Copies of this chain bind each other. A is one copy, B any other.
Amino acid sequence: MNKHIADVPLDKAYRLINHGPTILVSARHAGVQNVMAASWACALDFAPPKLTVVLDKSVKTRELVEHSGLFVIQVPTVAQLELTSKVGSLSLNTDPNKLSDSKVELFNIQGHDQPFVSGCSAWLACTLIPELHNQNTYDLFIGEVVGAWADTRAFKDGHWQFENADPAWRSLHYIAGGHYYATGEALDVDE
């Protein structure tokens, strides 16, 4: 594992997606692995940390999640704009080389039998909490976060480092039609 990758305490894991970034979902089942982009992922609880993600019935990754009961939510960076767009538009169903065509490199984290995408700023390993009514009616999946990691150049000591990091580490926020916004300037208020 890259020396910059560090554990994030589970009670801080929600901070990795609290700013509403576009995320990548990855999963593996029976030797098939896939990665897709999604805008519709959201924190659901602090402790134990949970999150929701919407997986359309047409996407291959959904099948892998349903069968394995596991998935990873990871936060891609501005440097990964093309990769994010590619895994959001190509389909493994029609392009068996989707991952290499998208320049996705995967790595492993010991103890978690799931594919992790290299170069992201943060990773949340999730166990599916089966809720068939939500899955069938709304394409809505709930996961419990069982492991969280971040690249310390982007997130350290429980805080994003966007103010001081290279802008290439900022998160992506997708709108539509290939149009994204990067995470912008920091703003603080006394609470």
Identify which of residues 138-181 in chain A touch chain B, using a CB-to-CB cut-off of 8 Å: 138-140, 142, 158-160, 162, 170, 172-181
Q: Quick check: B178 and A189 within 8 Å, CB to CB? A: yes
Indicate how many identical chains form the complex. Answer: 2
Closest CB of chain B to A128's CB: distance in Å? 14
A191 to B133, CA, bound (A): 33
Q: Does A78 touch B at the CB level, under 8 Å?
A: yes
Q: Does A108 touch B at the CB level, under 8 Å?
A: no
Q: Quick check: B175 and A191 within 8 Å, CB to CB? A: no
Taking CB atoms, residues of chain B closer than 8 Å to A107 are: none
A157 to B191, CA, bound (A): 36
Q: Quick check: B175 and A190 within 8 Å, CB to CB? A: no
Q: Quick check: A173 and B138 within 8 Å, CB to CB? A: no
A186 to B78, CA, bound (A): 11
Closest CB of chain B to A154's CB: distance in Å? 13
> If A18-B175, A45-B138 touch, does A188 touch B181 (CB 8 Å cutoff)?
no
Taking CB atoms, residues of chain B closer than 8 Å to A158 are: 176
> If A42-B40, A186-B180, A191-B89 touch, does A20 touch B173 (CB 8 Å cutoff)?
yes
Q: Quick check: B174 and A191 within 8 Å, CB to CB? A: no
Taking CB atoms, residues of chain B closer than 8 Å to A188 are: 178-180
Taking CB atoms, residues of chain B closer than 8 Å to A186 are: 179-181
| Interface contacts beyond A42-B54, A182-B187, A183-B184: sample of 13 additional A-B pairs, CB < 8 Å, sorted by A | A15-B176, A20-B20, A20-B39, A42-B42, A42-B52, A43-B54, A45-B54, A45-B138, A85-B191, A134-B134, A178-B190, A183-B183, A184-B184
Give residues in A with beta carbon < 8 Å to B. 15, 18-22, 39-45, 50, 52, 54, 78, 81-82, 85, 89, 131, 133-134, 138-140, 142, 158-160, 162, 170, 172-191
